[in-house]
Amino acid sequence: MLRFLVKYLLLAIILAAAAMLTAQWKLEKDIDSFANMIGAFAEFDYESAKINLTGEVRINSIRIYINSIQANIEIGELRFSAGNLYDLAFLESSLREQQLPENGHLYLTDVLIPFNNTLLKAVKTDEAPTSANILDAAFCGQHDRISPVELEAMGFDYIAFSGKHFYLLDKYSGSVVFNGNFDVEEMFDVTYQINISGVMAWLESLEERRIGQFQERVIPPQLALLEVRKKDRGFNQKKAEYCAIREGVTTDEYYAGHITEVDKQLSSVGISVKDDFKAAYQAAIKPDSQLAWFIQPKANFEFEGVNYYTFEELRDLSGLRVSVNGTQVSDYFEGWTGENFNLIAENLMKERAAKLGATSPLYQQVVITREYKAMNLNRAAEFLEEKVRVTRDDGRVFEGILSRTSDRSIWLFQKSLTGDVTIPFARTRIVKFEVYQ
């Protein structure tokens, strides 16, 4: 018996050593392949790379030099795992078979991205700002967004961060879970958890389609839970000081002026800010604030329909909860919809175009009138998940989100306060098909 145990132990040691050598060889080969793959636009170098018996990889002193923006990104240590040693040694074949690892982690330590003129010019954009950009930069001089250019002007010479990120596959439910944290030096700390359901079923559907078992619709994975917590570590103070200088006021006057301008912008598109949210927002932009967002969508929540929900519907269907400094926000807006909110940016672009006499190519491209346009019904499949309008042969007109098509019918998703419904329409009865563009 003892002799058998000794032989078994020796065999286990030999197998472990073989797996270790195979994984170490594959690791070095994969790193070299990665360096060659990005060699056309970046230089990749590192001091050492090792793998331990648990399958964890450690790569130390990484340097990535991006030629186009002359940026030198440094990573003190990168640690990651995609399972046990044997998984890592043969991970490539598992991925080809669309198999997901059961767990994994990624550690990033002392990642440093210094700002320089070339990098700042590269990230500077001429794209029109979004409504969120405009509100973020309200009462901050002539800025319509807070970009890396403004961050550099605030005194941030670089961005430095570290983080730990974890991944877990729940085979019982077919879901994957991501959680972790990252700390951005002198800016903020963030922790998060993301649950995505239906991943295994989605992969199985793709495999069935690949081998010829036809399915009319492959249901993609869905967000089941999102929780984010953010703690200010200096960014709010620097932003307030910077914007106060731009406006020629004190920091206290900036906070009051920012709130007033945000309220004014929202009111201009018919959105009324409730006092509870206004007080929470004022606390959120102050130094050392702590914010928490929680979303747990219901089964009938549709991300594609976000612009068409009222805020009450969005809050109910998405399970949205927000707290500031430990106090939950109970009342938010009145008159809010995604379409109304987007009007803030559209109205600003129209206003600037009018002042410039509509001579700027930027504003000529941005100010676009959206309307229903007639389309050939045979092209309906091209407009899935878009807003459409259907006129039936009895004269009745229906609007909704095109959710599905077939040779004989199309289906429109509609939502209302009384409930959500998907309505089928026979193609033979449709006299006009229009798409909102």
Q: Kindly state whether residue 79 falls inside one of the protein's structural domains.
A: yes
Interval 112-169: pLDDT, tens? 888 877 767 766 666 788 899 999 999 998 888 888 888 888 888 888 889 988 888 8
Q: Of all residues in the chain, what percent carry a pLDDT higher than 70?
A: 78
Query: Predicted confidence band at 21 (pLDDT cuts at 50, 70, 90)?
Result: low
**pLDDT classification of 218: cutoffs 50, 70, 90:** low
Q: Quote the mean pLDDT of the chain.
A: 80
Q: Which tens digits make up the pLDDT trace of 271-290?
A: 999 999 999 999 999 999 99
* Number of domains composing the chain: 2
Q: What is the pLDDT of residue 18?
A: 53
**All residues at 6 or more sequence positions from 193 whose CB lies less than 8 Å from its CB, including other chains:** 177, 178, 179, 225, 226, 227
Report the pLDDT value the prediction gives residue 134, as an integer from 0 to 100: 92
Encode pLDDT of 354-411 as tens digits: 766 555 555 454 445 568 888 898 888 888 888 899 998 888 888 888 888 888 888 8
- For the cut 70, the answer to whether the pLDDT of residue 268 exceeds it is yes
Mean pLDDT confidence for 414-423: 66
- What's the gap between Cα 7 and its chain centre? 53
pLDDT at 257 over 90: yes
49 vs 297 pLDDT, higher one: 297
Residue 245 or 65, more confident: 245
Q: Of 72, 106, 123, which residue constitutes the final position of a domain?
A: 123
Q: Which residue has the tokens 């930069």?
A: 137
User: How much is the pLDDT for 95?
Assistant: 40
Residue 62 pLDDT more than 50?
Answer: yes
Interval 318-343: pLDDT, tens: 999 999 999 999 889 888 888 888 88
Q: What is the pTM of this model?
A: 0.70
Specify if 337 maps to a domain: no
Per the structure, the complete domain to which residue 13 belongs is given by 1-123
- Domain end (from 105, 123, 141): 123
* Residue-level pLDDT at 93: 40
pLDDT digits (tens, 9 = 90+) for 165-211: 888 888 788 889 999 998 999 899 999 999 998 888 877 777 776 66
User: Positive or negative CA dihedral for 411, 417, 418, 419?
Assistant: positive
314, amino acid identity: L
Evaluate if residue 244 carries a pLDDT over 70. yes
**Is 313 within a domain?**
no
What is residue 287's DSSP assignment?
Answer: T
Q: Which of 288, 292, 290, 287 is nearest to 255 (CA)?
A: 287
Residue 108, CB half-sphere, CA atoms under 13 Å: how many?
A: 16
Q: Residue 309's pLDDT band (boundaries 50, 70, 90)?
A: confident
Residue 361 pLDDT: 54
More confident residue, 267 or 10: 267
In a domain, 296, yes or no: no
CA distance 211 to 97: 13
Return the percentage of the chain with pLDDT > 90, whole number.
27
CATH number at residue 411: 2.30.30.100
Tokens 């080969």 found at: 29
Whether 1 is covered by a domain: the verdict is yes
Residue at which a domain ends, from 106, 123, 140: 123
Residue 119 inside a domain? The answer is yes
Token code pair at residue 2: 């003892």
pLDDT reading at 422 higher than 50: yes
